[in-house]
């Protein structure tokens, strides 16, 4: 689950990058709008069912999500990377009713959010496993939307 500081950072980001893999093993990364309900991340869009990311998640459910931000010097970079499992669900979302990619987070890493990015010249990452726990901050919001 995301910490309060990680959640606050994610809420400020309008885009995330989703990485998928096609049946031939070709990776694909695209910037997308997103939603988060405290348990799942959702990726939709106009004509979502015709996109490569949508088609890739139908054949390979493992995905990666990245929220990142750079503000000035290299020491001011920060971000969150999420590994998860995707499936397709029908729901009412930011772009209306339709099919969305739903991502269940399994593990995430963050950097530059809860401390310095570099310590003694080496990058520092925080790793968190989600397991079966639910985000304890769910009461703070119903759905976070990037649009």
pLDDT tens, 126-147? 889 987 544 333 333 345 555 4
pLDDT per residue over 90-125, tens digit each? 999 988 899 999 999 999 999 999 888 888 888 888
Match 């989600």 to its residue by tokens. 130
Tokens of 32: 């997308």
Tell me, what's the pLDDT at 145?
Answer: 54
Match 């001011």 to its residue by tokens. 76
Domains with residue ranges and CATH for the chain = 4-137 (2.30.110.10)
Cα–Cα–Cα angle for 46, 47, 51, nearest 5°? 115
pLDDT per residue over 35-87, tens digit each? 999 999 999 988 999 999 999 999 999 999 999 998 877 667 899 999 999 99
> Containing H/E element for 123?
strand 122-123
């Amino acid at each position: 689950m995301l910490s309060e500081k990680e959640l606050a950072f994610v809420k400020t980001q309008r885009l995330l990058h989703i990485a998928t893999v096609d049946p031939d093993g070709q990776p694909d990364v695209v910037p997308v709008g997103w939603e988060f309900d405290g348990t799942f991340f959702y990726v939709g869009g106009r004509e979502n069912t015709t996109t490569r990311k949508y088609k890739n998640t139908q054949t390979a459910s493992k995905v990666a999500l990245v929220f990142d931000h750079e503000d000035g010097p290299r020491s001011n970079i920060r971000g969150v990377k999420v590994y998860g499992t995707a499936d397709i669900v029908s729901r009412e979302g930011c772009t209306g009713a339709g099919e969305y990619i739903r991502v269940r987070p399994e593990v995430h890493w963050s950097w530059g959010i809860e401390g310095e990015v570099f310590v003694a010249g080496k990058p520092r990452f925080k790793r968190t496993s989600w397991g079966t726990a639910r985000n304890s901050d769910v009461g703070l919001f119903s759905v976070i939307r990037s649009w």
